């Protein structure tokens, strides 16, 4: 299979919720170090709400699914990350419109649109130690995969690897956006919580085609 359907994407959000639950304590720990310790709790409120929203009722097309997901995240997550994750999904939704499924090229271009939404709202540059540092390399990996005509499976594996590398690369950075920026150089030597959860978002997408 070379494209993701609405059902696949509902499954993605379901897996994101499962991974968030599994990693909840870790996300809390990361945000305790350089923030206010609520990132895990903020996020799981949103992923639980997504699960409830799409349980047994799938929207008609990909744009509706992603748009409803974005609005749900904005309404439930709170904090800086709620608005930013909301912007990611809402801009992806606008980009894909009423498509019934999305291939690697459309996945790449929709995540590119989502990243632009995050940057427009949050004004973070690469290396500011935010979710942008995991999202940007993941989007680039999808774009490279699309250009090379890689399989969907390979594209998703590459995107997760890139997001995870981006997450790790936040460790030595000084935070320049969000709450962690109040710490200045004391934010060094910690993984950014939002970059960590963004890597979970791509991990959730990655094993989709294993069966």
Identify which of residues 102 and 124 has a Cβ nearer to ligand ADP in the complex. 124
Chain centroid offset of residue 140 CA: 14
Chain centroid offset of residue 125 CA: 17
Residue 31 CB, shortest distance to Mg ion, in Å, is 5
CA distance 15 to 177: 28
Give, for 5, the enclosing helix (H) or strand (E): strand 3-5
Residue 10 CB, shortest distance to ligand ADP, in Å, is 23
154: tokens are 């390979």
Residue 81 CB, shortest distance to Mg ion, in Å, is 7
Binders in 80-119 for ligand ADP, by CB under 6 A:
80-81, 84
Residue environment code for 123-134, b if the CB has 16+ CB neighbours within 10 A, otherwise e: ebeeebbbbbbb
Residue 133 CB, shortest distance to ligand ADP, in Å, is 8
Told to check if 36 binds Mg ion by CB under 5 A, we report yes
Note the residues at the interface with ligand ADP (CB under 6 A): 31, 35-36, 38-39, 42, 79-81, 84, 122-124, 130-132, 177-179, 192-195
Note the residues at the interface with Mg ion (CB under 5 A): 31, 35-36, 38-39, 79
């Amino acid at each position: 299979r070379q494209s993701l359907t609405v059902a696949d994407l509902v499954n993605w959000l379901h897996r994101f919720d499962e991974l968030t639950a599994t990693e909840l304590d870790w996300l809390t720990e990361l945000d305790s170090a350089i923030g206010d310790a609520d990132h895990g709790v903020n996020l799981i409120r949103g992923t639980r709400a997504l699960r409830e929203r799409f349980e047994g009722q799938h929207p008609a097309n990909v744009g509706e699914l992603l748009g409803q997901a974005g609005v749900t995240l904005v309404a439930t997550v709170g904090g800086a990350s709620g608005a930013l994750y909301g912007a990611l999904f809402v801009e992806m939704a606008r980009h894909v419109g009423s498509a019934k499924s999305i291939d690697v090229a459309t996945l790449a271009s929709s995540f590119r649109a989502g990243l632009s939404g995050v940057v427009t709202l949050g004004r973070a540059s690469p290396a500011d130690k935010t979710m942008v540092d995991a999202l940007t390399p993941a989007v680039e990996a999808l774009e490279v995969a699309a250009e090379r005509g890689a399989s969907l499976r390979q594209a998703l594996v590459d995107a997760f690897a890139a997001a995870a590398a981006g997450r790790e690369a936040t460790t030595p950075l000084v935070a320049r956006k969000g709450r962690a920026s109040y710490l200045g150089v004391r934010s060094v030597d910690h993984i950014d919580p939002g970059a960590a959860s963004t890597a979970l978002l791509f991990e959730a997408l990655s094993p989709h085609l294993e069966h």
